[in-house]
Structure 1
Amino acid sequence: MKVLKSGVPEFEAKMFQEILLKEGIFSELVDSHFAYTDSVYFGSGGLVDIIVPDEVFDEAVQIFEDLKKTGREEMDE
């Protein structure tokens, strides 16, 4: 498993996870190891890392690069 994104707020990570799932990529959210990440500082959920299997890492990176270029997820019609 490789870290796709690190130190992401949990609510945001869940959105990223749904985008990956829509593309057929399963991911996991694991607690991030940043200092001061308890709920007092960051709200409910804290920070997490998004990890994906090694074999789909490059594909997952490309999905997020494409999202950066378009600025949003493409809508299915």
Structure 2
Amino acid sequence: MKITQIKVVYLDGTTGVVSNDVLDVLIATGKIKCFKRSDGWVDIIRDHASLRDYRNATSYPGPERRAPWPDAEQRKD
């Protein structure tokens, strides 16, 4: 599985590459100035970047990719 890597610029001007999950943490904690999307750079303050919020998602429109839960017989160790 390929993990998407996103370019970021930290508050001190240094750059780095992080995963989506780390990007959310960096935005929430105010530790980056901007990050790069496929269509260009996003300025956190000017563009009011927000975190992804899955709590209110009603459904996922794509195919199910999670494995089913094992039944009780399979869980016995």
Q: Normalised by the size of structure 2, how large is the TM-score?
A: 0.24
Q: Larger C-alpha radius of gyration, 1 or 2?
A: 2
Higher helix share: 1
Higher relative contact order (CA 8 A, sep 6+): 1
